[in-house]
Structure 1
Amino acid sequence: MLTVTSINVNGLRAASGKGFTAWLQATASDVVCLQEVRAEPHQLADEVRDPEGWHAVYAPSVLKGRAGVAVYSRVAPTAHRIGFGSPEFDATGRWIEVDLPGVTVASLYLPTGEAETPKQDEKSRFMAELAAHMVRMREKAAAEGREVLVCGDWNICHTEADIKNWKGNLKKSGFLPDERAWLTEVFGKAGYHDVVRNLHPGVAGPYTWWSMRGKAFDNDSGWRIDYIAATTGIAKTATSAVVGRAATYAERWSDHAPVTVTFDVAYDAAEGDAE
């Protein structure tokens, strides 16, 4: 079995002091993808930068205190790559991919955007480059007999079922028609599958992000913007998808919740052997 978690930590240094470290020690996951790390490795405490039992790789942003992604894995990656060949985005801490036995896993932090502003234009450029890379990535992996998982904060709700107040967000970044159409392409022609939705069809959510303001969390007025996208071969083996929503507002260590998917594939974390 292979268990993978994706979580936007909303600042790894802050999250570590609020409960992330305890969560990491307790998780049964084989791979944990982090987004919005907001720190360079040397700024992290030793037990956070190199947690016992994990191999950690980081892609910090050149913009201090912004973005940043990372991957923790029980098995040492045979290779890792930062960015996807983009002069504009490779140094912004939004993409890292690692090669593990039989599977390449990426951690993604897609820009938030802001409708009708240059920020939205930037988001659109990122999306276009990312989609092209994901197709190339899938094709290369298939030629090598590997699968691909892209885990992260995509900052887009795909359908009305993925956002509580969809009527009030029709003109806002994260639920714009072109963004949603782009995700349809990713979960279609690009060759990837939304494994959480596949295992939870026809239900609201499960939401993964709630604003820290007001009563959004208490009222479960959330957005499902954290996805684990999988190529067809491994997507078919997904057996469980869980959003680790905190029991209470006070117990949250991020404004996002961990998304964990288990795949029924042979994966020996102790020996680094998968097939």
Structure 2
Amino acid sequence: MVVRIATFNINGIRAAQRRGFETWLREREPDVVALQEVRARASAIPDGVFGEHHLTYEEGTLPGRNGVAVLTRKEPDAVRSWSDTVLMRHPGDDHVDVIELDRAPLARGLKEFADQGRYVEVDLVDAPITVASLYLPKGGLPAHLQKPGRMREAPDGGARYDRKMRFLDAFARQLSRSRREARAAGREFLLMGDLNVAHTRYDVRNWRRSNQAEGFLPEEREWFSSLLSPRTLVDVVRSHHPDIDGPYSWWSWMGQSFANDVGWRIDYQLVTPALARTAVSAGTDRDPAPDRRISDHAPVVVDYDLDALPTAAT
């Protein structure tokens, strides 16, 4: 059984719908989709925009910002989040169900981010996989790298940088816990989302000029490396495209970045090794032209042949 799984930062569901999200979903037929930056109250999500998929949504408490979701063909077997509730909508419904959760203990330092709509995970009912959707804070530059007049945003003394580093530290602990809990339950684990970090030189087109840019700082890249190993998690797209530039998943709306493929690879599927070995294809759905872009991000899509999973995992 081949299962198509995608992650997509849609940069606002209503804008994405106007730009062709429903067409992409219908034509690509993913079985599971992790979404980031849905940016809408559940009541404001357009009816029918997710087709025949079940929606599990953590909208957060920041109006018009963040919001993560997982779309599945069947209703999930279980749902977890960092907050007390998640929202669910079934195909054909014109209402949203509020699902009360028993908030699990969070890793030290994660509480300040718990209600921001940054993380939700589900257990698939038809496959031994736990799927998580993450939207990691963009961050900023440390204070010593901030130069007034050379930044798009006003200097903040390193506040955004410090906030992101706190998140990275706490989330690494939480991720290890989630992965181990999935393993104890006999499930593979799949973390997807916009991690706002480009890991290697192959993940940024202009990598030499980006060494002092947020998202490509040495400490961010070192953190990313700490998540990966042959025994924990595998960057499945990179394993299919070793030592090549890209495939990028984000391009600025400005100038000719998209046309010239001056991009960053910051959207990932990080997968437990046994599941990674079942991947038969992996890449990004780059839009065909600048005027046909659904988002400033492209979907990252991987096909997994679950018949190749070890018998013990099923």
What is the TM-score with the length of structure 1 in the denominator? 0.94
- Looking at structure 1, the residues matched to 70 and 188 of structure 2 have their Cα atoms a distance apart, in angstroms, of 17
**Superposition pairs for residues 203-218 of structure 1, below 5 Å?**
203-218=244-259
**How far did residue 44 of structure 1 move?**
1.2
Instruction: Give per-residue Cα distances to partners, 1:223-273, cap 9 Å, x unaligned.
Output: 000000001110111110021001100110100001000111049xxxxxx
User: 1:42-191 alignment to 2 at 5 Å?
Assistant: 42-48=43-49, 51-83=50-82, 85=106, 86-100=110-124, 101-116=127-142, 117-188=158-229, 191=232
Q: Which residue of 2 aligns with 1:227?
A: 268
| Equivalent residue number for residue 6 of structure 2 | 5
Report the alpha carbon displacement of residue 28 of structure 1 after superposing the two structures with TM: 2.2
Which residue of structure 2 aligns with residue 270 of structure 1? none
- In our comparison, the structure showing a higher alpha carbon Rg is 2
- State the Cα distance separating 1:53 from its structure 2 match: 1.5
Unaligned runs of 5+ in 1: 268-273
Q: 1:169-223 CA deviation, whole Å, 9 max, x = no partner? A: 1111100001000110111288110000000011100000000001100110000
Q: Deviations over 1:70-105 (max 9, x none)?
A: 110002101111227332111101101001130000
- The whole-number CA distance in structure 2 between the counterparts of 1:79 and 1:142 is 15
In the other structure, the counterpart of 2:243 is 202
Q: Match for 1:9: what amino acid?
A: I
The answer to whether residue 279 in structure 2 is matched with residue 238 in structure 1 is: yes
Q: Is 2:5–2:30's contact at 8 Å kept on the other side of the alignment? A: yes
Query: Is the contact between residue 134 and residue 190 of structure 1 (CA under 8 Å) also seen in structure 2?
Result: no
Hey, what's the Cα distance between the residues in 1 that align with 2:64 and 2:241? 35
- 22-31 or 217-226: bigger deviation: 22-31
Give the aligned partner of residue 19 of structure 1. 20
Q: C-alpha distance in 2, partners of 1:2/1:37?
A: 23
CA contact (8 A) 2:199 2:216 kept: yes
Give the Å deviation of 1:43.
0.9
Q: Aligned equivalents of 2:22 and 2:230: distance in 1? A: 38
When structure 1 is superposed on structure 2, of 80-89 and 157-166 the one drifting more is 80-89
Percent of matched pairs sharing the same residue: 44
- Where does structure 1 differ by over 6 angstroms across 4 or more consecutive aligned residues? none
| Native 8 Å contact 1:34 1:71 kept in 2 | yes
Superposed CA RMSD: 1.5
Q: Kindly provide the amino acid, as one letter, of the partner of residue 116 in structure 2.
A: T
Task: Tell me the amino acid that sits aligned with residue 110 of structure 1.
Answer: L
Return the alpha-carbon distance in structure 2 between the equivalents of residues 262 and 52 of structure 1. Answer: 20
Counterparts of 1:80 and 1:154, CA distance in 2: 21
Q: Secondary structure at the match of 1:46?
A: coil
1:114–1:175 distance in 2 versus 1, CA, 3 Å? same
Instruction: Check whether the contact 1:135–1:190 (CA below 8 A) recurs between aligned residues.
Output: no
Equivalent position SS for 2:56: strand
SS of the equivalent of 2:216 reads coil
TM-score with structure 2 length normalisation?
A: 0.82
TM-aligned CA distance change 1:120 to 1:190, over 3 Å: farther
Gaps of 5+ in 2: 83-103, 143-157
